[in-house]
Structure 1
Amino acid sequence: MPQSASLIIASSESDSNLYYATKFLVPDPVIYFEIAGKKHIVLSDLEFDRGKEQACVHQVLSLTKASKQIKRTPKTKDLPVYALVVDHFFKEKKIKGILVPSDFPSNYYVALQKLGYKISVKPDPFYEKRLIKTPEEKKHIIHSIRQVEKAFGEALVFLQKSKIKNNKIYHGKELVTSELLQSLINTRLMELGCVGNHTIVASGVQGSLPHHHGAGPIIPHTPIIFDIFPRNIDSRYFADMTRTVVKGKPSDTIKRMYKAVKSANEKAMHLVKAGANTATIHKAAVTTLAKFGFKTGPNKSGRMEGFIHSTGHGLGLDIHELPSVSSRESILKKGFVITIEPGLYYEKEGGIRLEDDVFVTQNGFEQLTKFPKFLEIDR
């Protein structure tokens, strides 16, 4: 009989490892375990019948039936019921060791230890196979990207048709704000079957803070960062695209910043292939920006400026997956999907970021993001 099992206790709406393993979407925490390659999920009466139809597992077990068979003792009277249910099934199968993910709930960890199990925590990725996308997963990501490109393209047309008056931007009589453009993008994404959370539309000094969502009037003649990263409702796979444009006339410094970031994006992307070291890719982006004369470090007020984040990250069922394309070394493999997103951020000028999603091939890469890159939209 097997002596160990892997265990997840979570909601698959928030835990992508659980969804990856079961393809079953459930809002409340459930018990899932694997023993000798067999998948088991424990469901309440609320989800049991649906789980039997939809969950990609070998066995659906009843939480209600298991709970009725549990007899609490003075030792177990204060332990959470899910821990006792796990113990019920694992005793049947003579399990002694448990492998859990790094975000496993601490209350269950402690309870299962008290019940005598030896628990090992596996660092991310819990499922290494998640990093290498199947052809179907690749199609899901591409589909999400195309919806982003449609939504952004329509927002861009809206902005192009707007007019600058008294250093503000108006579409007819309506003031163009970050919130207005975010609403246009997110509404269109929803129509296209995607959910856009925290869509970034940030201009002026707000753009110099990489994750500032943007608020208030869009400032003409300054960079506007559009960072759009929705999840598809059906497949649950993310896209992640960033473009930076200017409504009006950019300064010479902004033009140089854009040229530098675009060059860094291209340089880093063309180093992508199976076997490439992510630290080498990141260093190429850093070096390219430095060659253009853009320094990274604290400004006079102590705020960090320049290229102040990594060059990219993995992408899939989570918006941020391994590997990190940064100074931390890791080796790319065929089938990875990563982002390449260098940027420059200065309080005086604002921010420039360009981001593409890339599929790693044996001898190079496939650029999945197709939307063109350009700075000025009023030409």
Structure 2
Amino acid sequence: MPKIVRLIVASGETSSNLRYAAGFSAPDEFIWFDDGAGRRGVVMSALEFGRASRSARPDTEVLPEQQFGASRLEILSKLAVELRADGYLVPEDFPLFLADQLRKNGIPVVAHSGPFFPEREFKTSDEVEKIIRSQRAGEAGCRRAFAVLRETDIDSAGRLIWNGEVLTSEILRGEIDLEMVKLGMLPTGTICAGGEQGSQPHNVGSGPLFANRPIVMDIFPRSAETGYWGDLTRTVVRGRAPEIVRKAYDAVLAARELGKSLIAVGADPAEIHRAAAASMEKAGFRTGQNEKSAFGFFHGLGHGVGLDIHESPRLSPRNANPLRGGEVVTVEPGLYYPEWGGIRLEDLVYLSPGNAPQCLTELEDFLEL
């Protein structure tokens, strides 16, 4: 029977699979392998050999590149000989040029279809704690935003004024991100979208922020130390929210709480999504598409969070695989209308194997400040 060795060649900073497999990260590319017979290891440059020796998982060998050669092709060719490998099984994002080189050198390379480590979907208690630490940092960033918004004045044009200047999405995002950096996070793409910009779920926001209009703040910090993410969203109004915004906020909050209550071992993610969507529809908020854009609730209810910000499982109509316990997922319904903006409220939930869902988010909920 052919001996196929699992192989990853990547940087731990960009490959969550490599970070998961090796137990540590390094900015430079390195090699991880598993021969399926109890031998796992990493092949490291002299620059990173010491780090790997200290940080790799206990069952992982740390081998020097010099033992095998200079180029990636030479190293992997000699590694295949040492492991008596008949080929390599690699993730879908394996470098194509390197795969072609190996095949030309007589070493078969096959891309694995689907998740390379399906077990990543189910978090250990240690992983949950790492996610919680990132989530707390995100909450601190959001509370900093609340404080800034409370300190604002309103000018004759309805713009928010802070420290003598117009408060923009960019300034508010900077305050959020700085707070998280102080706590060891790497903020990326923090959303502060005011008014109509909030009707586009991934619009990060730009320009002046205004009173009496919703501001969507979606915050997803990644720990520089562990690589694990947090994810949360709050929508607030500085001043008085219009009636339609208050009704939409109430509908989204109710949908989020309903979705959280339905998370359980054996639950169908598609059904959870549909229940949350139906509750907002029943509250009078229709979903559809016109010549300009989609409106209403037009994205999935949630997604897994771990070493990737978006990973399995999805809470969406496309996923009918029952929850099994051990997942960490967001629950983030939203309503979006170009006429006035958007509302999104997001919490993070851990479904323990014992079927006791736990909300990992401690940030308060309110609309007006």
Shorter chain as normaliser: what TM range? Answer: over 0.9
Correspondent of 2:247 among 246, 256, 270: 256
**TM-score after normalising by structure 1:** 0.92
- Give per-residue Cα distances to partners, 1:280-306, cap 9 Å, x unaligned: 11111211111112122223x331111
User: Could you tell me which residue of structure 2 aligns to residue 344 of structure 1?
Assistant: 335
- Give per-residue Cα distances to partners, 1:290-330, cap 9 Å, x unaligned: 1112122223x331111121111000111111111111122
Where in structure 2 are the equivalents of 1:1-379 lying within 5 Å?
Answer: 3-35=3-35, 36-56=37-57, 57-67=59-69, 81-166=71-156, 167-299=158-290, 301-329=291-319, 330-361=321-352, 362-377=354-369
Question: Higher mean Cα deviation, 48-57 or 316-325?
Answer: 48-57
Measured on the aligned residues, the alpha-carbon RMSD in Å equals 1.6
Amino acid at match of 2:301: T
Distance 1:149 1:92 in 2: 49
Distance 1:183 1:177 in 2: 10
Tell whether the 8 Å contact from 1:2 to 1:94 is kept in structure 2 after alignment: no
Amino acid at match of 1:33: F
Partner of 2:262, secondary structure, is coil
Distance 2:223 2:67 in 1: 36
Partner of 1:46, secondary structure, is helix
How much does 1:40 deviate?
Answer: 1.3
Distance 2:187 2:329 in 1: 19
How much does 1:171 deviate?
Answer: 2.1
How much does 1:141 deviate?
Answer: 0.9
Amino acid at match of 1:26: A
Amino acid at match of 2:134: S
How much does 1:117 deviate?
Answer: 3.3
Distance 1:371 1:215 in 2: 25
How much does 1:115 deviate?
Answer: 2.8
Distance 1:16 1:128 in 2: 13
Amino acid at match of 2:67: K
Q: Which runs of 5+ in 1 are unaligned?
A: 69-80
How much does 1:92 deviate?
Answer: 2.4
Distance 1:291 1:122 in 2: 43
Structure 1 segments of 4 or more deviating over 6 A? none
Q: 1:94 to 1:295 in 2, by over 3 A?
A: same
- Give per-residue Cα distances to partners, 1:45-101, cap 9 Å, x unaligned: 222233222222532222223116xxxxxxxxxxxx313321211122221132211
Tell whether the 8 Å contact from 1:159 to 1:247 is kept in structure 2 after alignment: yes
**Count of residues paired in the alignment:** 364
Amino acid at match of 1:363: N
Tell whether the 8 Å contact from 2:22 to 2:60 is kept in structure 1 after alignment: no
Partner of 1:67, secondary structure, is coil
How much does 1:148 deviate?
Answer: 1.4
User: Could you tell me which residue of structure 2 aligns to residue 74 of structure 1?
Assistant: none
How much does 1:364 deviate?
Answer: 3.9
Amino acid at match of 2:148: F
How much does 1:108 deviate?
Answer: 1.9
Distance 2:328 2:114 in 1: 16
- Give per-residue Cα distances to partners, 1:203-242, cap 9 Å, x unaligned: 0111111011111111211110010000112122110000
How much does 1:172 deviate?
Answer: 4.1
How much does 1:23 deviate?
Answer: 2.0
Distance 2:47 2:246 in 1: 58
Tell whether the 8 Å contact from 1:271 to 1:364 is kept in structure 2 after alignment: no
Amino acid at match of 1:228: I
How much does 1:7 deviate?
Answer: 0.3
Tell whether the 8 Å contact from 1:2 to 1:93 is kept in structure 2 after alignment: no
Q: Which runs of 5+ in 2 are unaligned?
A: none
Partner of 1:98, secondary structure, is strand
Distance 1:31 1:178 in 2: 41
User: Could you tell me which residue of structure 2 aligns to residue 77 of structure 1?
Assistant: none
Amino acid at match of 1:40: G
Tell whether the 8 Å contact from 2:304 to 2:327 is kept in structure 1 after alignment: yes
Partner of 2:177, secondary structure, is helix
Tell whether the 8 Å contact from 1:3 to 1:94 is kept in structure 2 after alignment: yes
Tell whether the 8 Å contact from 2:68 to 2:74 is kept in structure 1 after alignment: no
